[in-house]
Amino acid sequence: MVPAGTNAPRLIGQPVARLEDPPLLRGEGCFAGDVSFPHQLHMRVVRAQVAHGRILSIDTQPARARPGVVAVWTAADVAEVPPIPFRATKVQGLEAYCQPVLARGVVRYVGEPLAVVFANDAYAAEDVADLVVPEIEERPALLDAGEPPREFEPGRDTEPTVIRKGYGDVAAAFAAAAHVIELDLSVGRHSGVPLECRGAVARYDASRDVLEMYGAAKKSHWNRDEMARMLGRSPSTFHLYEGHVGGGFGVRGELYPEDVLVCVAALRLRRPVKWIEDRRENLVATNHSRQQRHRIAAAVDAEGRILGIRDQFFHDQGAYVRTHGARVADMAAGLLLGPYRVPAYEVAGHFRLTNKTPAATYRSPGRYETTFVRERLMDAVAQKVGIDAVEVRRRNLVASAEMPYARPLDALGTDVVLDSGDYAGLLGKALSRAGWDDRKAEVARRRASGEIVGLGLGMFVEKSGLGPSDGVRLTVDPSGCIELVTGAGSVGQGMETALAQICGEALGVDYRRIRVVRGRTDQIEFGNGAHASRVTVMSGSATQIAARAVREKALAAAAEMLQADPADLDLVDGRVVRRGGGARASVGLDEVARHLHPSSRYIGRRPPGLSAEGWFYSDHMNYPYGVHIAQVRLDPGTGMVHVERYLVAYDVGRAVNPMLIDGQIVGGLAQGLGGALYEQFTYDAQGQPLATTFADYLMVTAREMPDTVDVLITEDAPSPLNPLGLKGAGEGGTNAAGAAVAAAVDDALGRPGFVTALPVSPARIVAALATARTGAAS
């Protein structure tokens, strides 16, 4: 907050226009595909066409003989490059499952990189890649993570670890229960599918011994550090550049084999190397996500109050452990309980490998899945004890008086302490905003007239603001331009605008005067990219700290210049002004910066410059929370689910820019609905992927979006963990979409518990409706 008594502009909370948009709207965006260097090579990946097998040989000779081909590599050519590591996690035993940059000895999924071709143009590279024909001894594909563990490879089985968490006396809870409700629920395999496929361009500058990679996203510093280690370089000699990013969603910007390969090639071949993923590759090579099967049981008392929850789930990791390690399973286990008071809990997450594309995080990872599971469970409890969906939740929600609410669980290595919240309050606001009772009446009316319509709701707790730290550097240049350098990533979420608003408010300047420099590891020593809905919380808090430090420096220097007491000065509209005026009433920030220039005659022996770093630390995550309410209509002929109305109510602690949050929520909802109704990476019995084009992998388009999406952003429960009360807001639109749609479909069909798997199957709906008609007719 700005010190009292100032008339600095109030920027935080305003739906100001995005700083990011002008170049994008003018067609001046720079995506990975837009980066080129003279004399560059093009890399094409030769991918496995069988799901599982032993590599007997790979004949690269025909490809190498082609004109314009500079090199063809298989695993033997990159034998010194270690497999891709994963981020620190407490789970042991995963290292042996990491992916080599090119398949070594065995292939484990269709799409796995077997070889790479480097040619003078992209067309030649693609054509020549077809000439690289591996000889592979096929083995049966292991495709069901729910099957008992078996040998995956000699000495390694399909279950490297089981994640176990829990607290309380679960057995006693179940023994004492009035009712025990058991469910078997599945979430399908789908993922973030950005508009921009992946891409990477590497260039080695021998004159400076600097390696550069363009096309980074999400975790540039981490990827840089890890690749530096893999390549035996110092991180200082290796820089990653993130340009514009055509969608992140958790999948884009992880460290993939192709990133490493372009870097190795640039170093070894001494030419820039460019690789751009095509869509088919994207759908088999970029991280999948979500696929889990949960066998969950609740023990409840006669009034539907939860006494204990027991869950056993099977996480389908696909063929390798990628950069996230077991984080999705860890979060599923640690965050399953959501907003409810659960006295005893026990979970065993079976982390299983299969012969499919490796999986990792996707928007609301571990929460989308468990919210579906938990909310299905709550609906089943309601049904069992004969109360409605709202009442069962009211009876079980953690109360605001209990906040902060510590659960004896951990997630992402932090203790789970729900920092603040009024869950029941938000439920009430959501029901009121949605006109729940009117909606119920409308649904009943329309049902009576033959329409198949239903209402459903889901509640959830998100998590955000993962620590431990973030920093920014703020500099006012002699022209008065304010540069904010951050190691956070800009993947479309609007972070440049949000940070500029926070900075502008603290400095008393128009946010459009702030230039956010990001996505360049050579510009700031440390950074955390964009993940875990942490940027606004962590980098935003660091920004406020840095801006206040700059503010203090500016006031102190201006005090010299104006011969005033700093306490009598304020920063307004980019100028330091003397309250009440005077001889010389103000100086511009540009003048202050020049006063502090190292060649200024006023500089004395001070460290020069009008700049400061700000660092913010946090030991705990914070927990925004929300409610989804869906109204659906089913088509009896096709079984398709049409979402008519949708409400997302979301408490974000403090909304820096409501317009950005609204955009995040609506976009996130599209993805949540995709997973609920349309998107699925299906495989045949041999492990051949069946969804490798947009004709088969069904993205939500404008047509599939609800007729009406209402977004209610509340700020009832600011986080006590940072000065601005911020909580992240990027995943709340996705989180409960599966849960709310499933409940609405149940309601439309009049069959509680009908939906047990996502995406909802039109064929099952058609069959159910046919049965219902037959039953009605009989």
Give the footprint of a copy of itself on this chain (CB under 8 A): 23, 26, 28-30, 34, 36-38, 205-209, 225, 228-229, 233-237, 243-244, 468-471, 475, 477-481, 483, 515, 522-523, 525-526, 597-599, 601, 603-605, 607-609, 611, 613, 615, 617
- Please list the alpha-helical segments (H only) found in 286-422: 327-335, 367-385, 389-396
Q: Closest approach of Cβ 305 to a copy of itself, in Å? A: 39
- Residue 459's CB is within 10 A of a number of other CB atoms, namely 31
The rounded distance, in Å, linking the Cα atoms of 364 and 371 is 10
Task: Give the Cα separation of 542 and 484 in Å (integer).
Answer: 11
Of 124 and 298, CB closest to a copy of itself: 124
| Residue 444 CB-density burial (10 A; 0-12 exposed, 13-18 middle, 19+ buried) | exposed
The distance of closest approach from Cβ of residue 316 to a copy of itself in the complex, given in angstroms and rounded to an integer, is: 30
The nearer residue to a copy of itself, 28 or 278, going by C-beta atoms, is 28
What is the per-residue DSSP string for 209-240?
TEEEEES--S-HHHHHHHHHHHHT--GGGEEE
User: What's the closest the beta carbon of residue 490 comes to a copy of itself, in angstroms?
Assistant: 11
Q: How many residues does the chain have?
A: 778
Pick the closer one to a copy of itself by CB: 611 or 719: 611
Q: Which is nearer to a copy of itself, 275 or 646 (CB)?
A: 275
- Torsion 421-424-427-431 (CA) sign: negative
State the CB neighbour count (10 A cutoff) for residue 763.
9
Say if CB 667 and CB 702 are below 8 A apart: no
| CB 620, min distance to a copy of itself, A | 14
Of 27 and 154, the one with the shorter C-beta distance to a copy of itself is 27
Q: Which residues pair with 714 in a beta bridge?
A: 651
Minimum distance between the CB of residue 38 and a copy of itself, rounded to whole angstroms? 5
Taking the complex as a whole, the smallest distance from the CB of residue 608 to a copy of itself amounts, in Å, to: 6
Considering beta carbons, is residue 236 or 563 the nearer one to a copy of itself? 236
Give the separation between CA 262 and CA 589, rounded to whole angstroms: 44
Token couple for 55? 């590599």
Instruction: Tell me how far, at minimum, the Cβ of 477 lies from a copy of itself, in Å.
Output: 5
Maximum alpha-carbon separation in the chain: 98
**Please, which residue, 364 or 533, has the CB nearer to a copy of itself?**
533
Pick 146 or 413: Cβ nearer a copy of itself: 413
* CB of 109 closer than 8 Å to CB of 158: no
For a copy of itself, the closer of residues 108 and 239 by Cβ is 239
| Tokens matching residue 301 | 């008392």
The one-letter amino acid code at 115 reads: A
CB 552 within 8 Å of CB 610: no
Edge-first strand listing for the sheet containing 161-167 = 161-167, 345-352, 306-316, 292-300, 179-187, 757-758
Shortest Cβ distance from residue 224 to a copy of itself (Å)? 11
For residue 34, the minimal CB distance to a copy of itself (Å) is 8
Which residues make beta-bridge pairs with 515? Answer: 483
Residue 39 or 150: the one with the smaller Cβ distance to a copy of itself is 39
Contact assessment for residue 669 and residue 709, using Cβ atoms and an 8 Å cutoff: yes
Q: Which is nearer to a copy of itself, 86 or 340 (CB)?
A: 86
> Of the two residues 119 and 516, which places its CB atom closer to a copy of itself in the complex?
516
**Dihedral pair phi/psi, residue 770, rounded to 5°:** -65, -45
DSSP labels for 687-719?
A: --BS--STTTS----GGGS-SEEEEEEE-SS--
| Closer residue to a copy of itself in complex, CB, 286/722 | 722
The side-by-side arrangement of strands in the sheet containing 53-59 is: 106-107, 53-59, 133-138
Helix axes 737-749, 762-777, angle to 10 degrees: 20
Residues linked to residue 240 through DSSP beta bridges, in sequence order = 213
CB 479, min distance to a copy of itself, A? 4
Q: Which is nearer to a copy of itself, 324 or 633 (CB)?
A: 324
We find the least distance from the C-beta atom of residue 419 to a copy of itself, in angstroms, to be: 19
Q: Of the two residues 37 and 754, which places its CB atom closer to a copy of itself in the complex?
A: 37
Task: Answer whether 622's CB lies under 8 Å from 419's CB.
Answer: yes
Closest distance to a copy of itself from the beta carbon of 523 (Å): 7
Q: Which secondary structure element, helix H or strand E, spans residue 73, and what is its range?
A: strand 69-74
> 654: how many CB neighbours lie within 10 A of its CB?
20
Q: How far is CA 684 from its chain centroid?
A: 29
* Closest distance of CB 568 from a copy of itself, Å: 29
> What's the CA dihedral at 105, 110, 115, 118 to 10 degrees?
-170
Contact of 284 with 189, CB cutoff 8 Å: no
Going by DSSP bridges, is the β-strand pair 575-578/569-572 parallel, antiparallel, or unpaired? antiparallel
Could you tell me the smallest distance in angstroms from the CB atom of residue 495 to a copy of itself? Answer: 15
Q: For residue 27, how many other CB atoms are within 10 A of its CB?
A: 6
Cα end-to-end span (Å), the chain:
69
Minimum CB distance to a copy of itself, residue 26 (Å): 7
Of 442 and 477, which has the nearer Cβ to a copy of itself?
Answer: 477
Q: Rounded to the nearest whole angstrom, what is the least distance from the CB of residue 725 to a copy of itself in the complex? A: 20
Cβ(526)–Cβ(485) below 8 Å: no
